[in-house]
Structure 1
Amino acid sequence: MIGLLYFVLAVLVSPFKSKMRLEAENAALRHQLIILRRRLPGRIQFANSDRWFFVRLYRWFPSILQVLTIIRPETLVRWHRAGFRRYWRWKSRSLGGRPPIAVGLRALIRQMSVENPLWGAPRLHSELLKLGFEVAQSSVAKYMVRRRAPSHQGWRIFLRNHAPDIAAMDLFVVPTVGFDLLYAFVIVRLDRRNLVWVNVTRNPTAEWVARQITEAFPWDEAPGYMIRDRDCIYGTIVTRRLRAMGIRDKPTAPASPWQNGFAERLIGSIRRECLDHIIVFGETHLRQILRSYARYYNDIRTHRSLDKDAPVSRPVHRTGSIKSLPILGGLHHHYARV
């Protein structure tokens, strides 16, 4: 009786429905019959094409929910939402990332990493920039050779506000193969980190230090300020020489090596990158090593604080074959295009 009542109501309402809406409902009814005629054992199985058909029909004519009998209306809505999510996941997919790194460049990064075990990703990246390769530092770190070496904390530079006319000097001790002690003296300018002067002696005196300062700076190129520690070697002779050259003496506070951070950082680099890997035979040998390292430090070695440039600015070469030139017997290498 209730079914007959629904049929009568449908007949009465049908003239007021649009033709397209009636066609959609008829298509939904026909497709349900097709699915039921498959007669597969168990529950009714829906193929993806069936789901796609009902979802598309539902998007155009939501009224087909009234004629669905083999599935619940909420099931069709769930299919529609799942399809919407998959569509936008496909539309928002990544269309590509960074361009791939060339095989030759990967091999060059590994070669430089193997030949220079003391270099990290920033140093390798700066060398590649000087060779004309446009590559990210993260890519360099990715293709470097992995080592199981403990990480070392870098030196902090506490003196930030400096002027181009400031220099710093310091002494450090180097043992020889015979356990004798040699004293190396360095002077560095703070603006471009130039290693201005380096020399070696067995018996440092105030007269010797004063003579080194005179030889390091011509009278018209002397800095305005000189930072030093309070070692007793810097006696009256040294302070008078500085005053005569127009240099203002700036000793650090007692037991405060961080106030002479640039010189301490330079000495640390000399030890880590050179002296810690070489056995010194004597004064002449040490002087040759330090002067060779000074040339490498000023002309070739890149600095992060100088925007990955050398103290003596290096031009960028983009053409020519790459040559690897050993420095300090192969402890470091210089890469250049020829």
Structure 2
Amino acid sequence: MAIRLLYRFCCLLLGWLRLLGRSSAAKDVEILVLRHQLSVLERGRPKPAFTLGDRAVIAALVRLLNKRQRLSLKLLVTPRTVLRWHVRLVARKWTYPHRRPGRPAKPEALRALVLRLARENDGWGYRRIHGELLSLGWKVAASTVWEILKQAGVDPAPQRAGRSWARFLTAQAHGILAVDVFHVDTVFLRRLFVLFFIEHDTRRVHIAGVTRNVTAEWATQQARNLLMSLDDVRTAGIRYLIRDNAGYFTEGFDAVFTAVGARVVPILPGVPRMNAIAERWVGSCRREATDRVLITGERHLRLVVDEYADHHNEHRPHRSLGQRCPDGVGAPEPPAVDASSRVIRRDRLGGLIHEYAQVA
């Protein structure tokens, strides 16, 4: 045992004496390498994981040592692995970025513009879009436009220009008036009916009347009252009237609108989407007003639907109108909000509906 201890002491002493012959720079490098390895061990337990930064630091430091010093250094990896890391660093520095062969990629702005023109103009082919791009200053070939449309899955112009009913409504919205009737059950289990008209272009709603029994004579008279309440310009602008095939919409009802030059368009059987805008308003009125109030009679229902129609026309924003209300389509933009602005609230229908306005 004493001989073994003496041997270990001699080995340590020779190691210390050998350290005296090394430069301080080599010692500092070895200390830095060992310290960095300790940080890697503390971060990655149970198995250390070297990141790209760890490899770069260790490879750079070990490169400062000679071969004998690298062999005596206690590393978590072999010296050959460290040298391989260094070769990769050198290759990364002198390797130029790979560039795909062929033409350069098309600008994303050009691609977005081509798809926008195709989406907003279903009758334009790639040649027509190419001409529009040239007038806008884009120097591209017609084949480039064709390739962008093909990659995006856009059909050719004759196939895109489908004359669907929704497209017809959008194109003719300025002169379309729709009519519909919906019912509301009172608290006394009596059913009341509401006749209303809605303009497609502005989404303005006109409540024509409320009754317990919808008859052809009553509906015709309400149509006359509506046209008398409108000015001459708005009356002359009505080109189409969309209605369903209910029995109270008779020839006398249609004659009221044909007399002012409008064409009556009955919806086809089983196609309720032909009057989708009116049906959409019925759903909004039910969810936001009539389904949340206990209706007691005709007068009460008329007050509720009139109040909601005023809210719909004067305040409620619509996505189809750019988040404007029907009465605010032609109004100027609201003033910008600043720190001194204050928002007030106005209640409708006893607080069921809140309207907010900005005041200085």
Whether the 8 Å contact between 2:178 and 2:241 is mirrored in structure 1 is yes
How far has the Cα of 1:203 moved from its partner? 2.1
Identity of aligned residues (%): 30
SS in 1 for 2:184: strand
Quickly say closer, same or farther: Cα 1:204–1:65, change in 2 above 3 A.
farther
For 1:54 and 1:333, locate their aligned partners in 2 and report how far apart those are by CA, in whole Å.
63
**1:312 aligned counterpart, secondary structure:** helix
- Written as runs of structure 1 = structure 2, the 5 A alignment for 1:254-265 is 254-265=269-280
Structure-2 separation of matches of 1:248 and 1:331: 39
* 2:208 and 2:223 in contact (8 A); partners too: no
Structure 1 runs not aligned, ≥5 long: 1-24, 36-44, 84-156
Shift in Å, 1:176: 1.2
Q: Is the 8 A contact 2:185 2:191 kept in 1?
A: yes
Partner of 1:73: 79
1:298 Cα offset (Å): 0.6
Residue type of the alignment partner of 1:173: H
2:171 aligned with 1:161: no
Q: Deviations over 1:153-177 (max 9, x none)?
A: xxxx973432200110001111111
- Tell me the distance in 2 between the aligned counterparts of 1:264 and 1:285: 22
Tell me if structure 2 keeps the 8 A contact 1:198–1:291.
no
**Partners of 1:207 and 1:46 in 2: CA distance:** 99
**Letter of the structure 2 residue corresponding to residue 159 of structure 1:** A
Partner residue of 2:27? Answer: 30
Query: Quick one: which amino acid aligns to residue 257 of structure 2?
Result: L
The one-letter amino acid of 1:334's match is: E
Q: Give the TM-score normalised by structure 2.
A: 0.56
Residue 47 to residue 238, structure 1, CA distance change in 2 (3 Å):
same
Cα distance 1:261–1:53, how it changes in 2: closer, same or farther (>3 A)? closer
Contact 1:158 1:261 in 2 (8 A): no
Please name the residue that 1:234 is paired with. Answer: 249
Query: If the length of structure 1 is used for normalisation, what is the TM-score?
Result: 0.60
1:290 aligns with 2:305: yes
Work out whether residues 302 and 310 of structure 1, in 8 Å CA contact, stay in contact via their aligned partners in 2. yes
Counterpart of 2:284 in structure 1 is 269
Does 2:342 match 1:335?
A: no
Which residue of 1 is the match for residue 347 of structure 2? 326
Paired residues of 2:59 and 2:85 also in contact (CA < 8 A):
no
Check whether the contact 2:195–2:208 (CA below 8 A) recurs between aligned residues. yes
Higher relative contact order (CA 8 A, sep 6+): 1
User: After superposition, where does 1:183-202 map in structure 2 within 5 Å?
Assistant: 183-202=193-212
1:159 match: secondary structure: helix
Structure-1 separation of matches of 2:175 and 2:66: 84
Maintained 8 Å contact 2:29/2:64? no
Cα shift readout 1:249-302 (whole Å, capped 9, x = no counterpart): 000112322211111111111111111101111111111111100110011111
For residues 50 and 161 of structure 1, do their structure 2 counterparts lie closer, same or farther at Cα, with a shift above 3 Å needed? same
On the 8 A contact 1:195/1:297 being kept in 2, the answer is: yes
Secondary structure of the corresponding residue to residue 294 of structure 1: helix
Instruction: Supply the distance in 1 between the matched residues of 2:290 and 2:182 (Cα, whole angstroms).
Output: 12
- Tell me what 1:316 maps to: 334
Where do 1:1-338 residues align within 5 Å? Answer: 29-31=26-28, 46-48=34-36, 58-59=59-60, 62=63, 64=65, 66-67=67-68, 68-69=70-71, 70=73, 71=75, 72-74=78-80, 76=82, 159-162=166-169, 163=172, 164-217=174-227, 218=230, 219-222=232-235, 223-313=238-328, 315-317=333-335, 318=337, 320-338=341-359
Residue type at the aligned position of 1:224: R
Provide the aligned C-alpha RMSD in A. Answer: 3.6
